[in-house]
Amino acid sequence: MGDDQLKWTELDRRTLFDARIFSVTNRVCLSPEGRREPFTVIETNDWVVVVPVLDGGEAFFMVRQWRHGSREISVEFPGGVIEARESPLEGAARELREETGCVAGKLTKLGVMSPNPAIMSNRVHFFLAEDITVAGDLQPDKDEFITAERISAAEVTRGVGSPPYIHALTATALCFYMRLNRQKV
């Protein structure tokens, strides 16, 4: 079966619910065999995740914070929502600065993925941050209580999949980093 036999066509889209940070739409789509089906999709802005590398890859700069969805402490790579009129690269530099107080001499794109292509419309952009220097204090949003800390790459690699390394997109970013390191070696 070719890709054309898997592809659906969108016929109609209607907003069902609108929150500040995302909206929910009903999309009526036509199946490859010509059947109409409704799908519920979460529409939101693109996100960015940054892997700040320290000490030549021996460690990362990570962010520790309370997460309201999972209701627990999460230690994760810095990241967030890309703002309007901001490129993914600019969003990466801003989130790094706000959440860790650092600036990167070099920001390299690692890849782009869909956080959940089944039910979410947006993409998440991954960047590697190198030549890190501390530029000042953290600048969290008013509802963020966060700390930033150096954690060894070995600990993060061992830890993903168990608290506090619970954020799937941190493991996605680590996958890119591991791939890069393999190619270097």
> Helix (H, G, I), strand (E, B), or coil: what is residue 15?
strand
Neighbouring CB atoms inside 10 A of 98's CB total 18
Minimum distance of a second copy from residue 4's CB (angstroms): 10
CA pair distance 167, 126, nearest whole angstrom: 14
Which listed residue (60, 61, 126, 127) binds a second copy by CB under 8 A? Answer: 126
How far lies 57's CA from each of 83, 128, 152, in Å?
29, 11, 9
- End-to-end CA distance of the chain, in Å? 39
Which listed residue (82, 92, 93, 172) binds a second copy by CB under 8 A? Answer: 172
**Binding-residue pattern over the window 19 to 58 for a second copy, x denoting contact by CB under 8 A:** xxxx-x--x-x-xxx---x-xxxx----------------
Which listed residue (11, 12, 67, 134) binds a second copy by CB under 8 A? Answer: 67
Please identify, using beta-carbon distances, which residue of 96 and 166 lies nearer to a second copy.
166
Told to check if 121 binds a second copy by CB under 8 A, we report yes
Told to check if 152 binds a second copy by CB under 8 A, we report no
Please identify, using beta-carbon distances, which residue of 129 and 174 lies nearer to a second copy.
174
β-partners of residue 72 are 67
Which listed residue (84, 85, 136, 162) binds a second copy by CB under 8 A? Answer: 162
- Residue position matching structure tokens 């999972």: 70
The HSE-up count of residue 148 (CA atoms within 13 Å, CB side) is: 22
